[in-house]
């Protein structure tokens, strides 16, 4: 069975490099981690050591199907990036543009509720408890500026 090599594949509306091994190629899709990529390939029955360019159309379709509905194929909920959604209460997995949009909506909701995390997001501060005394000083005064010592006469 000879497989034709493709340098660029289209998986879930994302261009993927065919020269990479399959799990690392799937990682190029926003929202898919290496663990999830390996689990998807295992469920699809694809060898994880194969280069992505050698995947057949049937295998790509099976991978896309599993990525769109991972709980239907028995993947554990801890692999998903949206567990117990606030609106639906279901475990889902978001990828690419859906993930970006939902994240922005979550941040806006936190700002609207005036939660602590929302406040930190609104003021451009660190959100997850990192220290701010010495790090994260982008855009503000950096360090202490010394006054220029200039003598008008030039000597004594």
118 and 58: one domain? Answer: no
- Burial annotation 70-87 (CB, 10 A radius, 16+ → b, else e): beeeebeeebbbbeeeee
Residues 129, 88: Cα–Cα separation, whole Å:
29
Tokens 């010592």 sit at which residue? 149
Of the chain, the percentage scoring pLDDT greater than 70 comes to 87
Contacts of 21 (CB under 8 A, 6+ apart): 48, 49, 50, 51, 52
73 and 100: one domain? Answer: no
Measured at the CA of 151, the angle between CA 145 and CA 156, to 5 degrees, comes to 140
Tally of domains within the chain: 2
Quick: pLDDT tens for 56-79. 999 999 999 999 999 999 999 999
13 and 49: one domain? Answer: yes
49 and 99: one domain? Answer: no
45 and 71: one domain? Answer: yes
Is residue 142 one of the residues assigned to a domain?
no
71 and 107: one domain? Answer: no
75 and 16: one domain? Answer: yes
Last residue of a domain, one of 46, 79, 112: 79
Identify the burial level of 16 via C-beta atoms within 10 angstroms of its C-beta, where 0-12 means exposed, 13-18 middle and 19 or more buried.
Answer: buried
Residues of the chain with pLDDT under 70: 1-2, 139-146, 148-156
Residues 133, 76: Cα–Cα separation, whole Å:
40
Residues 153, 30: Cα–Cα separation, whole Å:
64
50 and 100: one domain? Answer: no
What is the pLDDT, as a whole number, of residue 136?
76
75 and 121: one domain? Answer: no
Is residue 143 one of the residues assigned to a domain?
no
71 and 102: one domain? Answer: no
What is the pLDDT, as a whole number, of residue 139?
67
Is residue 147 one of the residues assigned to a domain?
no
Are 52 and 22 a contacting pair, CB within 8 Å? yes
Domain housing 103: 95-132
What is the pLDDT, as a whole number, of residue 40?
94
Is residue 12 one of the residues assigned to a domain?
yes
19 and 71: one domain? Answer: yes
71 and 30: one domain? Answer: yes
């Amino acid at each position: 069975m000879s497989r034709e090599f493709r340098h660029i594949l289209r998986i879930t509306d994302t261009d993927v490099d065919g020269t990479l091994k399959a799990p690392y190629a799937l990682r190029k899709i926003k929202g898919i981690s290496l663990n999830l990529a390996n689990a998807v390939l295992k469920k699809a029955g694809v060898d994880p050591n194969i280069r992505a360019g050698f995947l057949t159309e049937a295998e790509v379709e099976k991978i896309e199907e599993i990525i769109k509905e991972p709980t239907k194929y028995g993947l554990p909920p801890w692999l998903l990036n949206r567990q117990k959604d606030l609106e639906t209460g279901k475990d889902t997995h978001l990828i690419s543009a859906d993930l970006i949009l939902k994240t922005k909506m979550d941040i806006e909701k936190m700002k609207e509720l005036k939660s602590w995390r929302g406040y930190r997001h609104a003021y451009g501060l660190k959100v997850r408890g990192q220290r701010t005394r010495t790090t994260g000083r982008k855009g503000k005064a950096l360090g202490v500026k010394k006054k220029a010592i200039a003598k008008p006469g030039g000597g004594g």
